[in-house]
Amino acid sequence: MILGIGSDLVDIRRIEKVMSRFEQRFIERCFTDIERQKAEARRPGGTHMATYAKRFAAKEAMAKAMGTGFSGGILMKEIGVITADNGAPSLELSGSALKRLNAITPQGHEAFIHLSLADEPPLAKAEIIIEARVKD
């Protein structure tokens, strides 16, 4: 069963503008250590801004899919994009974001988050589907 769907579209230039003024504060407030490492590894190739923008969009999309936005104490850093063993992007939740996901997941079910990321400068997008599956 589908618990939630969310999508977000970000103009990479908007992220560049914020980073030009508040880079360290913005990164520390919004991104996990894993996300920072991934983006900064791409700085020499110049694709780090798109990497940050896609992750920013994923956080927004997840907040929409959970039906809350960033309210109820949910913080951006509690929604982190990670890479699965097969190379696919996935999400790791903590704190209030994880509590919200657990709250919307029916008893006897397990939540699975499907994440798709894409960029075509100047845009970056993320799409989320939260699926509930019966526990084995």
Give residue-wise pLDDT tens across range 74-132: 999 999 999 989 989 999 999 999 999 999 999 999 999 999 999 999 999 999 999 99
Q: Looking only at Cα atoms, what is the longest distance across the chain?
A: 49
Please tell me the CATH superfamily of domain 2-134, with its number.
4'-phosphopantetheinyl transferase domain (3.90.470.20)
Q: Which strand (E) or helix (H) includes residue 19?
A: helix 12-30
Q: What is the pLDDT of residue 72?
A: 83
Q: What is the pLDDT of residue 113?
A: 97
- The domain spans of the chain are 2-134
pTM of the model: 0.95
Q: What is the pLDDT of residue 136?
A: 83
Contact 79, 91 (CB under 8 A): yes
